[in-house]
Amino acid sequence: MTMQVLQAIEVSRHFDVSRPFLQRALSREGRRILRAVDGISFDIAAGTTLSLVGESGCGKSTVARLAVGLYTPTDGEIRFEGQPLSSARAQPALRRKMNMIFQDPYASLNPRWRVADIVAEPIRAFNILSGTKTINDRVGQLLTQVGLSAADGEKYPHEFSGGQRQRISIARALSSEPEFLVCDEPTSALDVSVQAQILNLMRDLQQKLGLTYLFISHNLAVVRHMSDRLGVMYLGRIVEEGPGEDIFRTPRHPYTRLLLDAIPDISAVGRSRTPVGGEVPSPISPPAGCTFHPRCGLANERCKVEKPPQTKVGNVLVACHAVAEGRS
């Protein structure tokens, strides 16, 4: 049986975005709850990659933070190697196995530390190596792996370009030798050739060491290249989930189809894309029924009132009435 490294079971995360009490009382409005993640489930098997895609603000980074325990679920449960995440996090031996590359490479690097110390921090914290020379050599090796040089360790983060800083945070994430790595837009600031180097490195590490990835990117070509499985998110829910190739070849959910249609194409010089039409609904007061219905060409009365359950179509789970009813 394949081991599940991460399991999310009906996980939700809500944020209270109410205005201060007095203002609320004066204008007689209630509390306002933003459902950033709303009851999602998925498994990630050891040595595989699950990617999450979806519109900006749909909850991907919130899932990423939940997966490494930076947020606690409002509801539902996350298990790491079969144990509740909170108890796994309490054990240094297990905590060391997970790490995260943050979406914002600026905010996540301490500006007062030299790059060598930033990269060495997890090595020291978890006692992975000892001896100054051994640690320095390892840091130099990590920096070289991401296309920087050992001598760059002397410098401070502000002396680097955006993409160079992103590579520093990748080097730091790899330095703890994690087995499970959450990558939130890990190559967004990189040019395509350095991006290819980093993605090739990540694939090599996966093949050699069996790393497991939760991978988030807006670049669908990158996602296709990296993923075993794919989850498409819309407004805090997973609307389609299954083997990446199946979804890319035959997208079924109307939102997935729109998403794949909106990709820019380098052969289309000067062409204009039609943006996905319709208003992006607010996660504070999401539409009833299927939250995609106001923008969906296939929506009918049922879609407006009844939340679509996940239906299995081939190897893929799709949450759409039209797909389930064969109307698509």
Ligand X SMILES: Nc1ncnc2c1ncn2[C@@H]1O[C@H](COP(=O)(O)OP(=O)(O)OP(=O)(O)O)[C@@H](O)[C@H]1O
Number of residues that bind another protein (CB under 8 A): 73
Question: 53-82: which residues touch Mg ion (CB under 5 A)?
Answer: 61
Among ligand X, Mg ion, another protein, none, residue 279 binds (CB under 5-8 Å by kind): another protein
Cα angle at 214 between 112 and 84, to 5 degrees? 95
- Nearest distance from residue 106's CB to another protein, in Å? 5
Site string for Mg ion, 77-106 (x = CB under 5 A): --------------------------x---
Which of another protein, Mg ion, ligand X, none lies near 179, with the C-beta cut-off 5 to 8 A by kind?
A: none
- Give the binding range for ligand X (CB under 6 A) out of 58-66, 89-97, 128-136, 253-261: 58-66
What b/e string do you get for 93-132 counting C-beta neighbours within 10 Å, with b at 16 or more? Answer: ebbbbbbbbbbebeebbeeeeebbebbbebbeebebbeee
Q: How many binding residues for Mg ion (CB under 5 A)?
A: 4
160 binds ligand X (CB under 6 A): yes
Which amino acid is it at 180? F
Q: Binding of another protein at residue 142 (CB under 8 A)?
A: no
| Residue 77 burial class via C-beta count within 10 angstroms: exposed 0-12, middle 13-18, buried 19 and up | middle
Closest CA to 234 of 16, 59, 4, 50: 59
Q: Residue 104 binds what, of Mg ion, another protein, ligand X, none (CB under 5 to 8 Å, by partner type)?
A: another protein
The single residue among 103, 108, 187, 291 that binds ligand X, judged by CB under 6 A, is: 103
- d(Cα 227, Cα 229) in Å, to the nearest integer? 5
Asked if residue 228 binds another protein (CB under 8 A), the reply is: no
308 in Cβ contact with 255 (< 8 Å): no
Lookup: tokens for 33: 């709850």
* Least gap, CB of 319 to another protein (angstroms): 19
Cβ atoms 316, 240 nearer than 8 A = yes
Distance CA 280, CA 193 (A): 34
Binding-site partner at residue 38 among Mg ion, another protein, ligand X, none, CB < 5 to 8 Å by type:
none
Does 236 bind another protein (CB under 8 A)? Our answer is no
To another protein, the closest distance from the beta carbon of 96 in angstroms equals 27
Site string for another protein, 182-211 (x = CB under 8 A): ---x--xxxxxxxxxx-xx--x--------
Among 2, 130, 132, 272, binds another protein (CB under 8 A): 272
Find the binding residues for ligand X in span 208-267 (CB under 6 A).
Answer: none
Residue 294 DSSP code: G
Gap between the Cα atoms of 76 and 39, Å rounded? 7
Tell whether residue 191 is a contact of Mg ion (CB under 5 A): no
Stretch that binds another protein, among 54-62, 93-101, 113-121, 127-135 (CB under 8 A): 54-62
- Sign, CA dihedral 278-282-283-288, equals negative
Among 48, 49, 51, 61, binds ligand X (CB under 6 A): 61
DSSP string, 177-229: --SEEEEESTTTTS-HHHHHHHHHHHHHHHHHH--EEEEE-S-HHHHHHH-SE
Name 140's Cβ contacts closer than 8 Å, sequence gap at least 6.
149, 150, 153
The reply to whether 271 sits near another protein by the rule CB under 8 A is yes
Binding stretches for Mg ion (CB under 5 A): 61, 103, 161-162
